[in-house]
A and B are shown apart, each in its own frame.
Chain A
Amino acid sequence: MDIIKSLNDLLGGQLLLWKVILTSLVFAGAGLQVLLAARFYEASTVPPVSTGTAATAHRVNGTLTLGLAVAVAFTCLVGPAGPTSPTRVLLHSVFGTLVFVLLALKFAVLKRVWRAGDRYLPWIGSGLFLSFAAIWATSVADYITAR
């Protein structure tokens, strides 16, 4: 079964455009995550909400963003993608892998598998955001500049 073809048909032949849209939304979600984390770590007063609200919003936004990221990553892994340049594809793959490595670290901390990792959470979060930025740069920005 050609999963990519089925998905492309389902989306009216617009799979690539939807990937561009969803990847952009994931990047925006990652940016919001960092901002919300800065708020409940009390490093920032923006956005003007309580730290509890910021933490709840961080959790909800993180779940949604991760869901979208997994969906897009799935189409990347199973779909045929002739490279516009091997360097771009290599970087995209490296940062795509890095995201899931960092996510695994983060969940290890949150689920108390790696208790001592608490103090590294801001670093892991920042790394996640920068990895998403690199993924966006090696996909959406490449798509836009190629246009």
Chain B
Amino acid sequence: MRALRLLPLLALAGLLLAATPAANGAAAQAGGDAKIVDFDFAPRSLTVDAGTKVTWTNTGQRPHTASDRGGTFDTRPIAPGASAEVTFSTPGTYFYFCRINPAKMNGTVVVKPGDQPAKVTRVQAVDPGFTGDKLRFDPAELSVEAGSTLLVANVGGKPHTLTADDGSFDTGTITPGAEGGRFAGKNASITLTEPGTFKFHCEVHPAAMKGVVTVTGEAAGEAPAAASAGPRELDIGTEDFAFDPKDASIAPGGKVTVTNKGQAPHTLTFDDEPLDTGQIAPGATADLTAPDKPGSYSYRCTVHPARMRGVLVVLGRDTEDPNADAAARAAPAAPVAATGGGGGPGGGITAFGLATGLLAAFLGGIGLSAFALRRRGAGGG
């Protein structure tokens, strides 16, 4: 009988425990404009030349995003009537989706190589995961110049690698998007320095996922850090609730200074590298050293992981900067002054939320228990 009295409180406790985070025109079109409708992309397939800026305009009534399934770009939510742009400088196929409606809204952008040989080429690792496709590399056969980089994007729901049969290069395991590829996966980069023809495969699915890359030209030496096209130092601001810039490039081993320009605390935490600023108070700064290995590194704010994400590209020698246009746009902007003074309601929000929640549970628990006891008394009496 005592247990019956506790039932309402137990139910409430269960609900509170549930708070732990559990943890997504058909024809092809050439050109750079696409519409977002509720709940689709129009057209679903776009073909553009390298360097084209694609603009997505949300003509629907709900916010949507255009996000790479391989994790290289994310427009963030685009409000109804608003637009967002992404410049595609790396040739390849891009499976993209709306991360608010990942099941309903999926599209493809095919970026054709330009006149000049590409310094970075995208290869997608595809599987049945969420798109219902088959296990394959896209493209499975390609030709690149020595010294150029392959950006391998996992757009499926299973882990993959891109590994040379002779062991001369290997991306390591590239993790898929959460929930079997419902959300964006990761990517990795490898620089091919030696000319020749290399067969490659996925270590996880060696029978089904195979390909060949032909590396042309003269052998390219190891890239010294100083020869990188990326800056040695980079400032990233954290606002409420976005990184500015969200996607940026830097030389291997460069210094990243993170300044919290918002009112809430933020972090800059890499997804797959042990790099973390820890929590940065409003107005404060923190420094990080970029990874030495060229590649794309996704990061997030652990305080606001759903909204604050970005990608840091560590540029190797002669690697084309995928964020060059963004950097050029951002350069003339006046630096945002740090608000200083910390404070704001962010500091005590945890304590306030917990205290109020406990108070509510206490008051409601007494009330529910009183009703339960009264009913039991009436029933027994």
Residues of chain A having any CB pair with chain B under 8 Å: 2, 4-5, 12-14, 16-18, 20-21, 24-25, 27-38, 41, 43-44, 46, 79-88, 91, 122, 126, 129-130, 132-134, 136-138, 140-147
| Complex-state Cα separation, A56 to B23, whole angstroms | 43
A48 → chain B closest CB, angstroms? 13
Which of B182, B239, B263, B364 has a CB less than 8 Å from the CB of A30? B364
Most buried by A among B22, B81, B102, B354: B22
Residues of chain B having any CB pair with chain A under 8 Å: 8, 11-12, 15-24, 63, 65, 76-79, 81-82, 99-100, 102, 178-179, 182, 239-241, 262-265, 302-307, 344-346, 349-350, 352-354, 356-357, 359-368, 370-371, 373-374
**B352:A86 contact, CB within 8 angstroms:** no
Q: Assess A28 versus B22: contact at CB under 8 Å? Given A38-B371, A43-B373, A82-B307.
A: no
**A137:B364 contact, CB within 8 angstroms:** no
**B363:A35 contact, CB within 8 angstroms:** yes
| Complex-state Cα separation, A44 to B362, whole angstroms | 14
**A31:B359 contact, CB within 8 angstroms:** yes
**B350:A144 contact, CB within 8 angstroms:** yes
**B21:A84 contact, CB within 8 angstroms:** yes
Inter-chain contacts of B240 with A (CB < 8 A): 13-14, 16
B172 → chain A closest CB, angstroms? 26
Inter-chain contacts of A80 with B (CB < 8 A): 63, 77-79, 100
Inter-chain contacts of B22 with A (CB < 8 A): 85, 87-88
**A146:B360 contact, CB within 8 angstroms:** no
Inter-chain contacts of A32 with B (CB < 8 A): 360, 363
Inter-chain contacts of B16 with A (CB < 8 A): 133, 137, 141
| Complex-state Cα separation, A27 to B15, whole angstroms | 13
| Complex-state Cα separation, A143 to B57, whole angstroms | 30
**B360:A85 contact, CB within 8 angstroms:** no
**B262:A35 contact, CB within 8 angstroms:** no
Q: Assess A137 versus B15: contact at CB under 8 Å? Given A34-B363, A43-B370, A82-B99.
A: yes
A92 → chain B closest CB, angstroms? 10
**A17:B19 contact, CB within 8 angstroms:** no
Most buried by A among B12, B76, B356: B356
**B65:A140 contact, CB within 8 angstroms:** no
**B349:A17 contact, CB within 8 angstroms:** yes
**A41:B374 contact, CB within 8 angstroms:** yes
B259 → chain A closest CB, angstroms? 16
A115 → chain B closest CB, angstroms? 21
Q: Identify the closest chain B residue to A77 (Cβ).
A: B62
Inter-chain contacts of B264 with A (CB < 8 A): 14, 16-17
Which of B17, B23, B306, B374 has a CB less than 8 Å from the CB of A87? B23
Inter-chain contacts of A87 with B (CB < 8 A): 22-23
Inter-chain contacts of B374 with A (CB < 8 A): 38, 41, 43
Inter-chain contacts of A91 with B (CB < 8 A): 18
Which of A16, A138, A146 has a CB less than 8 Å from the CB of B305? A146
Q: Assess A140 versus B353: contact at CB under 8 Å? Given A37-B367, A82-B307.
A: yes
**B361:A145 contact, CB within 8 angstroms:** no
Inter-chain contacts of B361 with A (CB < 8 A): 31, 133
A51 → chain B closest CB, angstroms? 13
Which of A16, A44, A130 has a CB less than 8 Å from the CB of B12? A130
Which of B11, B179, B239, B305 has a CB less than 8 Å from the CB of A86? B179
Which of B20, B63, B356, B365 has a CB less than 8 Å from the CB of A25? B356
Q: Assess A2 versus B79: contact at CB under 8 Å? Given A137-B16, A147-B303.
A: yes
Q: Identify the closest chain B residue to A137 (Cβ).
A: B19
Q: Assess A137 versus B306: contact at CB under 8 Å? Given A14-B345, A28-B360.
A: no
**A133:B364 contact, CB within 8 angstroms:** yes
**B364:A34 contact, CB within 8 angstroms:** yes
Which of A12, A83, A141 has a CB less than 8 Å from the CB of B19? A141
Q: Assess A147 versus B306: contact at CB under 8 Å? Given A17-B349, A24-B356, A129-B367.
A: no
**B19:A35 contact, CB within 8 angstroms:** no
Most buried by A among B23, B262, B366, B371: B371
5 nearest CB pairs, A to B: A141-B19, A34-B367, A80-B77, A80-B63, A31-B363
Inter-chain contacts of A140 with B (CB < 8 A): 353, 357
30 A-B Cβ contacts within 8 A? A2-B79, A13-B239, A17-B345, A17-B349, A24-B353, A24-B356, A27-B360, A31-B362, A35-B363, A37-B371, A38-B368, A43-B370, A43-B371, A46-B366, A80-B77, A85-B23, A86-B102, A86-B182, A87-B23, A126-B371, A130-B11, A134-B15, A134-B18, A136-B357, A138-B18, A142-B20, A142-B21, A144-B354, A145-B19, A146-B303
